[in-house]
A and B are shown apart, each in its own frame.
Chain A
Amino acid sequence: MSNYTENELAKDLEDQEYEFGFTTDIESDKIPKGLSEEVIRFISAKKEEPQWLLDFRLDSFRKWKEMIEPEWAHVHYAKPDFQDISYYSAPKQTKKYESWDDVDPEMKETMKKLGISMEEQKRLTGTNVAVDFVMDSVSVATSFKSKLKELGIIFCSFSEAVQDYPELVRANMGTVVPSTDNFYAALNSAVFTDGSFCYIPKGVRCPMELSTYFRINEGGTGQFERTLVVADEGAYVSYLEGCTAPQRDENQLHAAVVELIAKDNAEIKYSTVQNWYPGDKNGVGGIFNFVTKRGICGTNSKISWTQVETGSAVTWKYPSCILKGDNSIGEFYSVAVTNHFQQADTGTKMIHLGKNTKSTIISKGISAGKSQNSYRGLVQIHKGATNSRNFSQCDSLLMTDECGAHTFPYIECKNSSSKIEHEATTSKIGEDQIFYCKQRGIGEEKAISLIVNGYCKEVLNQLPMEFAVEAQKLLSISLEGSVG
């Protein structure tokens, strides 16, 4: 046997820097730390918001103050000090860009490092991706707007939507995730700075993938973005969301709210690749990712969530579907990878209200290092949800003897014509599989990457092509040197 052991390999790799750990040097327009009504009024004024939105924020804030931070998730962390966070940070240069060429070169560089530059996107996909780039909460570049406009599709930053389409925003925001839904949703409702808004008119099939990249840039700033996607009757949209954050020592809070509304016969496909900074190998730093994502389905409509979660120090996230309309369909496909000291508590809620509603849950958890990875899911079939179906498959793969993999499904059925099937397995990565690969000349790291990608295939297959490639790369990077 060679002298180069797995341990040495692991040691070589643990010094590997977070690939996206760099900071963009753009002077921020940042307010002092702290949270109060004044701060909220400041944010609202800065964004020239209408009174109803300020009222929404202040009402959320008052309710938030009465709420307690949830503790039921299988995660342990030092609670954020909400007075030690700066709630607004916009790049100082606030003028709107007329074209891609006008964008600050440094910012372009940032995007390039993220591997998602417009050029790259254009090259990869022809002209099939429209990107709304969110950097520290303010959307700085949108493209393909005119093309989308022809079809009546609105795709813009949340702030712009508030100014340009106030009635659409007002009629829909907070209808899926009420501001009092939970502690973090309430916080977001009070202080959100920007995000994305998307509206697909009746009967329109959005011809390209809509994409937003989020990233946290400024130290000590929390990111509170809000996404609202409305697919009107018979409309279709596929929406991509990618997230990265530069390396920071202190933990940063990310509390987003995503609301999807699929009207009758509409379909929304929402894909996320989340690669926030996970902290270093000693568990120092990293993002707290406390996100509320929920969609509501009308009759014959469909919402499909796909997520590949490899980043964040602590993840608390349950993209959910309320299957209100008869014959509606909810799907959740998830890969969650944790390494080092990462903690993830993620899953979904499928709430069956309408008749003949169907939901599918495929969750693949991979735990490495000293991480803790939990699936938590709720399947609830209400009394009126006649002939509803759920199928859930939750698998966990363990890479070391120091990590944990946990499965906490809640299955509630109040209808006797419905059917629920849930299966979960937990096992170690197959040593015989690794040996088989090695006997064919494939090195251990490559073998693990192959096996893990195969294990996640069902989920990765749900992603649009260019995202799937990125996700596969991320999986490999996240697990380098992870076998115990």
Chain B
Amino acid sequence: MSMIAENKKEFISRLSKTSISIPEELKSLAGATLENTDLPTTRNEHWKYTRVAKLSKIDFNNSAGNVQNIEDFIIDPTKATFVFVNGHYSTEFSSTKIPEGVTVELLSNSGMTSSIIKNEGEVFNALNTAHLIDGASITITNKAQVETPIQVIHILDGNEQLSNFKTVINAGAFSKANIVEGFFATKGSEKSFANVTSEIKVGANAFLTIDKVQFENEASFHISTEQIEQDKYSTFTINTITLNGGLVRNNLNVDVIGENCTTHLNGAYILKGKQHVDNHSIMDHKVPNCESHELYKGVMDENSTAVFNGKVYVRKDAQKINAFQSNRNVLLSDSAAVNSKPELEIYADDVKCSHGSTTGQLDDDAIFYLRARGLSRRAATQLLVSAFITEIIDHIENENVRAFTFNLLKKRYGWDITPEDFH
């Protein structure tokens, strides 16, 4: 333990403190956490299946990078695109024609006055707060129906880069918007680490959809925490697609604080090589009359490992909650592994909650059937895997995100299957 702690302090001491205007008490809270808390080990229940000790052995630093071309990283050819490299805003690549009803500010300009992210005892959040590089603060005006998606692209560039990056989203009452987030790494970037936080407030009656695509590289690290607060009658959807990244940990925490809300959490992860992807969600029903739907599906090949840990809380007196959670996994290789831990913690009685978890393989009969129709084993496998994962991708309403995702699947897995094949 002590060695880890020392190592941790070593790289932290070399990082410069954030220059963003953040309330002092937040800074000192984050500082105290970094001072007193070690990196989590697998003895910590929340990190039972994910080892992060190797982070402490890397000599992290931060620079603005030198990205030449971002063609491959544009998910949605929208006009409103904000590009950050290692956490630094890129004026060169950003095209900031912001649609009506939306304001976007850089955190380096606007600063932060408050935070809903937990800094106490959470090392990665504290690291993000204390050494924040920059980020985007997106505000959707009340009643604005925003047709154009807002796109935030984050790129890791160079070796041993640590980017502490943040997005803040405030969706006003009765508004509707789609935010697309992309996380990438340039070719050849080694051992770089995106440590990301998001603070998202969904106002009363608002509709907010986030499409998050993760495609860093097998030598990269990504840890993100999304903290969401939903006000009454709001609908929040997040689609998390993880296709590349060496070690990826997504913490998705949804607090439903207003009644009559709907929440959709969808995730797809398709892994190979030595990838390790850990999706950790907490769906917290604090008030009555709400529903939530969570569906995560994954396919693991080669030596990859996936972790799903989804918790649903129904707090005392939060009656009439319908909460559903499902995790489905397919293992394609004997060296691949999956750890699934769906959890229900229910303190109210008038509820309908369920979860399911399956782990298995593709249907042999189906593969045989396809081969009997002339498909190669490889093509048959690909077809069935695609069909399995398409259920998630089909949840994405934004066509450009869907097309981009299929394109990435082709790029990484050689799957030449367009979405149309499934409609």
Contact = CB atoms under 8 A, between A and B. Distances in A.
B316 interface: yes
Contacts of B317: 401
Contacts of A417: 334, 361
B353 A401 contact: no
B270 to A, nearest CB: 15
Interface stretch (A116-124, A129-137, A180-188, A402-410): A402-410
B361 A423 contact: no
B405 interface: no
Nearest to B344: A407
Interface residues of A, number: 36
A256 B332 CA distance: 42
Contacts of A407: 342-345, 355
Nearest to A389: B360
Interface in A460-484: 484
A404 B315 CA distance: 9
For A411, A414, A418, the residue with the greatest tally of chain B CB atoms inside 10 Å of its CB is A411
A416 B355 contact: no
A413 interface: yes
B341 interface: yes
Contact of B346 (A72, A383, A426): A426
Contacts of A413: 329, 331, 337-340, 359
Contacts of A426: 344, 346, 351-354
A416 B346 contact: no
Nearest to B356: A423
Given A398-B351, A406-B346, A413-B331, A419 B361 contact: yes
A412 B344 contact: no
Contacts of A425: 352-354
A428 B336 CA distance: 39
B344 A405 contact: yes
A420 B345 contact: no
Nearest to A383: B334
B349 interface: yes
Nearest to A393: B356
Contact of B359 (A396, A410, A420): A420
B344 A411 contact: no
The residue among B344, B348, B358 with the most chain A CB atoms within 10 A of its own CB is: B344
B339 A416 contact: no
B158 to A, nearest CB: 35
Contacts of B359: 381, 411, 413, 418-420
For chain B, which range describes its interface: under 10, 10 to 19, 20 to 34, or 35 or more residues? 35 or more
Contact of B353 (A415, A421, A427): A427
A424 B359 CA distance: 15
Nearest to B49: A412
B413 interface: no
B151 interface: no
Interface string B380-414: 00000000000000000000000000000000000
A453 interface: no
A424 B342 contact: yes
A174 to B, nearest CB: 26
Interface in A414-459: 414-428
B349 A411 contact: no
Contacts of B319: 401
B345 A404 contact: yes
B312 to A, nearest CB: 9
Nearest to B348: A401
A198 interface: no
B333 interface: yes
B357 A420 contact: yes
A413 B340 CA distance: 8
Contacts of B347: 403-404
Interface string B87-125: 000000000000000000000000000000000000000
Given A419-B360, A427-B351, A410 B331 contact: no
Contacts of A401: 316-317, 319, 348-350
B45 interface: yes
A400 interface: yes
B334 A424 contact: no
Interface in A266-290: none
Contacts of A409: 340-343, 357
B349 A403 contact: yes
Contacts of A421: 356-358, 360
Nearest to B347: A404
- The CB with the most chain A CB atoms within 10 A, among B45, B317, B331, B332, is that of B331
A353 interface: no
B337 A404 contact: no
Nearest to A376: B343
B345 A422 contact: no
A399 interface: yes
B342 A416 contact: no
Contacts of B339: 410-413
Nearest to B326: A423
Interface string A47-77: 0000000000000000000000000100000
A406 B360 CA distance: 25
Contact of A428 (B45, B332, B349): B349
A411 to B, nearest CB: 4
Nearest to B308: A411
A410 B342 CA distance: 8
A368 B343 CA distance: 20
Contacts of B332: 416
A343 to B, nearest CB: 13
A403 B351 CA distance: 13
A253 B264 CA distance: 45
Contacts of A416: 331-334, 336, 361
Contact of A408 (B316, B329, B338, B343): B343
User: Closest 10 A-B residue pairs measured CB to CB?
Assistant: A416-B331, A398-B349, A419-B360, A411-B340, A420-B359, A426-B353, A407-B344, A425-B354, A422-B357, A413-B359
26 contacts: A381-B359, A396-B346, A398-B351, A401-B348, A401-B350, A404-B346, A405-B344, A406-B345, A407-B342, A409-B340, A412-B339, A413-B337, A413-B340, A413-B359, A414-B334, A416-B334, A418-B359, A420-B357, A421-B357, A422-B358, A424-B344, A425-B354, A426-B352, A427-B351, A427-B352, A428-B351
Interface of B: 45, 316-317, 319, 329, 331-334, 336-361
